[in-house]
Amino acid sequence: MPISNDENSWPHSHEAKASEEFLKLRGGAWPSGIAVSEQAVRRVHTRGRRRNTSLVFSTLPLGMRVSESHSETRFLKVAQLEPLASIVRAQPTWLRVMEEGRIRRRAPDFAVLIDGRAELHETKQDAECQKSEIKLELLAIRDEVERHPGWRYSVTLESALMAEPLRSNTDLLWRALVPLEEIGLDLRLRTQAVLDHGPLSAAEVMKRAAPPAGRQGAATPWQDLLAMIAGGLIHFDVREKLTRDSLLWNRNSGPERGRTLPFCTVEEAIRRSSVVPQPTPFCAVKLRGPAQ
């Protein structure tokens, strides 16, 4: 049974109201059975050498999300490039999970509304998924989550979050992640009009969407184009590094964009982690054996 989170106990912030409106607009909602909090339900850990506690700005919807590791921070950034994701919550709920005959309390890393479906989600280092106790924990949480209709449990490995070109695209677009209202409406409309008839290279889009000759700022800045991509106004192929030669398209034309994140099942995460090559210790000098 999940621990019931009384949502009325949380103050109704501007972010909460924005979330409700966003869900109504997208026609989605969290399924019953597991309560998803607007705020983190537990204190974020700050001890240990592996911790990297930080706040990450999110557009899903607008607000700050808390993370406590490099992989969680990376997930929050990459999730904003996922074309099917509409809501992300960090440390969203407590679950009571049966592990080896004992009831334990677990807080999954994220709740994600993706393609209209709800998932509780975990980010893990590859090596962690090779440990027997972690395997048992993931399987136990999966069994509890999927006991509730409409819910799934998924895992993303750190190796996937740090893979090229995903890492390059995320870092590049993250610097341009600004509210769309800060980009001129006329530039947005010109850009979308240019892409109405199919994919074009980024360089060609910049050329065609440029303001009329004689107007101030006659060229379309690369940063504005990146901001529109980061904001989901126009799309690109996430499987390739983003350059001026990359093909861009809008929501109504061009090919479907592939999913950005590999949301693995628990079994897939465990299986993939077992084939990750381990680093080879470096030794520049060949050691001699004992003298004969």
Confidence of residue 129 (pLDDT cuts 50, 70, 90): very high
The pLDDT, as a whole number, for residue 258 is 75
State the pLDDT at residue 49: 52
Whether residue 83 is predicted with pLDDT greater than 90 in this model: the reply is no
Structure confidence by residue, pLDDT tens digits, 138-175: 999 999 999 999 999 999 999 999 888 888 898 888 87
Residue 83: is the preceding peptide bond cis (ω within 30°)? no
Q: For the chain, which residues make up each domain, given as ranges? A: 13-165+259-273, 172-250
β-pair type (117-124, 151-157): parallel
**Fold that domain 13-165+259-273 belongs to in CATH:** Trna Endonuclease; Chain: A, domain 1 (3.40.1350)
> Which pTM value belongs to this model?
0.74
Pick the more confident residue, 157 or 274.
157
Q: Is the pLDDT of residue 276 over 70?
A: no
Q: How far is CA 236 from CA 83, 168, 251, in A?
A: 10, 13, 11
Tokens of 164: 């090229």
Question: Torsion angle of alpha carbons 132, 137, 142, 144, nearest 10°?
Answer: 140
For residue 192, name the pLDDT band (cuts at 50, 70, 90): very high
**What average pLDDT does the structure give for the chain?**
80
Report pLDDT digits (tens) over 16-38: 554 444 444 344 589 999 999 98
CA angle 51/55/57 to nearest 5° reads: 140
The alpha carbon of 118 is separated from its chain's Cα centroid by a whole number of angstroms, namely 14
Alpha helices for the chain (secondary structure H): 14-26, 70-79, 132-145, 158-161, 166-174, 185-194, 202-208, 222-230, 266-273
Beta carbons within 10 angstroms of residue 101's beta carbon: 5
Instruction: Look at residue 51 in the predicted model and tell me its pLDDT.
Output: 58
